[in-house]
Structure 1
């Protein structure tokens, strides 16, 4: 019993910096080809030629490779100049779900920059990896290398007898 309590106390003390500062998380299922075509479906679409945006609303689902992003509202910003016609950024709001493989993340908002393959999710972020869960206020996902950085009071729930999420403290 003493060994168990010592191990639990050590784990708690070691996790302290991760809870306060943030945690880097490995995302095997979240890495993907960011140059793959993007498919969008929604209940409605408004295109603004003046500012180069398209607003999708109502049951918006975006697919790119194995990744799926769902939200009530997504604003797509198109590139100007040489890359005109290409999607530069997607801003999802109203409750966002990002799924790839057996990993899923939820947040109030998400901003996906296509060229860099970076998704920034903010507001009550919940990440599930199998039976395990992590929460924070902000998560920055790099889809090209399959990693994420969680910041703002990070909390981890690890189900016993399962594979633990891979965390690296800063």
Structure 2
């Protein structure tokens, strides 16, 4: 397991105010989406969106071929109708998460809005500028801004579970600043 929080000095997460662009992401901000098709499944408290799906929230963008949004109906506050509170978004098919200069990609992703975690599985990559990490699983903590990359898509692995074809290993490329002599 390779933790990007520990690699800040190594170059993937740059020093400075914007070093961890996903830190303190506002998971309570409104969630907006566009898609080619939407299917509301009220009895199951979910919405299925498909075809060029794009979800935006507080400067973060999530793209995928298909997403399932699990929600809860909130009761009205006396004078008005209640609302919908999103608990989780499951995305599949060329999933891309972007905020500022950080981009994460994978086969599938689970965005748990309550725990403020995004877990991506299968052929994951995390890039910032010219720095890049690849592996099988990526977990992004939106509270701390810390990202963790594992070599295998699911803990112990198994046939067909290795994410990047790297034998369950994480690989990376980091830019080294040019030193002046």
Which of 57, 60, 73 pairs up with 2:66? 73
When normalised by structure 2's length, the TM-score is: 0.73
- Tell me the distance in 2 between the aligned counterparts of 1:159 and 1:131: 7
User: Which residue number corresponds to residue 54 of structure 2?
Assistant: 61
When normalised by structure 1's length, the TM-score is: 0.77
Matched, 1:87 2:86: yes
Q: Is the 8 A contact 2:124 2:134 kept in 1?
A: yes
Matched, 1:157 2:173: yes
User: Which residue number corresponds to residue 110 of structure 1?
Assistant: 109
Which of 24, 27, 41 pairs up with 2:3? 24
CA RMSD of aligned residues (A): 1.8
Regions of 4+ moved over 4 Å = 80-84
Asked which structure has the greater RCO (Cα within 8 Å, sep 6+), the reply is: 1
Please report how far the alpha carbon of residue 122 of structure 1 lies from its aligned counterpart in structure 2 after TM superposition.
Answer: 0.3
Residue correspondences, number: 141
**Structure with the higher fraction of residues in helix conformation:** 1
User: Which residue number corresponds to residue 166 of structure 2?
Assistant: none
**Structure with the higher fraction of residues in strand conformation:** 1
Question: C-alpha offsets along residues 32-51 of structure 1, whole Å, 9 cap, x if unaligned?
Answer: 11111111111110011111
- Tell me the distance in 1 between the aligned counterparts of 2:73 and 2:32: 20
With 134-143 and 75-84 compared, the bigger mean Cα shift is at 75-84
Please report how far the alpha carbon of residue 161 of structure 1 lies from its aligned counterpart in structure 2 after TM superposition.
Answer: 3.1
Q: SS of the counterpart of 1:50?
A: helix
Q: Is the 8 A contact 1:34 1:144 kept in 2?
A: no
- Tell me the distance in 2 between the aligned counterparts of 1:62 and 1:147: 22
Q: Is the 8 A contact 1:78 1:84 kept in 2?
A: no
Gaps of 5+ in 2: 6-12, 14-19, 76-81, 152-168
